Amino acid sequence: MHTVDDVLLDAIEKMDNTAKVLKDQFSGLRTGKASPALVDGVQVMYYGAPTRLRDIANISTPEPRLIVISPYDPTALPEIEKAILAANLGVTPRNDGRVIRVPIPELNEERRKEIVKVAKRQSEESRIAVRNVRRDANEMVKALQKDGKITEDERDRGLDEVQKATDTHIAKIDSELKHKEAEVMAV
């Protein structure tokens, strides 16, 4: 890192990645309707190696409350079924010998509140990650000034820019949480 702009670009990239990870985590949280993302990342033991479900099967949602998993290799059906049960998603897969059907039950109020708590915890972890990036970027900017590579004015401008980026990303995280909360609580 030679300039304030390098530090700033690096910090923004890390903050963007944090927001993206949160969005991916939220897509795996169950709402009242079927979504392939619910089972996408489930790890299946396939020929002795842990493999993501989406890499060994076609996942579709033909109905609003049903996920259909069609494995490319029918011999993987029992392992897929076992992996979905082990993932503790609150769903019960049904194997008919060719495909696995995963009916999505209606969420009760208590379960909805639990899911919202999980979403809040994940968003708080993301906020902490963004703040850690801010702290590291601020330390780098101060080190540049201490080493005589930038002036005090450039340091102050850099610290302000890092704070603006932090505020923007935390607002984005809060917005994602609000959206996910509304989605989960919708009956």
Cα→Cα distances 164→8, 135, 160, 167, Å: 10, 13, 6, 5
Question: Where does CATH 1.10.132.20 sit in the chain?
Answer: 4-27+108-185
1-51 confidence digits (pLDDT tens): 578 899 999 999 999 999 999 988 887 776 667 778 778 778 898 888 998
Mean pLDDT score of the chain, rounded to an integer? 88
Q: How far apart are the first and last CA of the chain?
A: 50
> What stretch(es) of the chain map to CATH 3.30.1360.40?
37-103
CATH of domain 4-27+108-185: 1.10.132.20
H helical segments located in 28-151: 37-40, 53-56, 77-86, 109-146
Q: Which of 65, 157, 55, 75 is nearest to 104 (CA)?
A: 65
Residue type, 156: D
Which residue has 């401008």 as its token pair?
A: 157
Regions of the chain short of the pLDDT cut 70? 1, 30-32, 187
| CATH domain 37-103 topology | Gyrase A; domain 2 (3.30.1360)
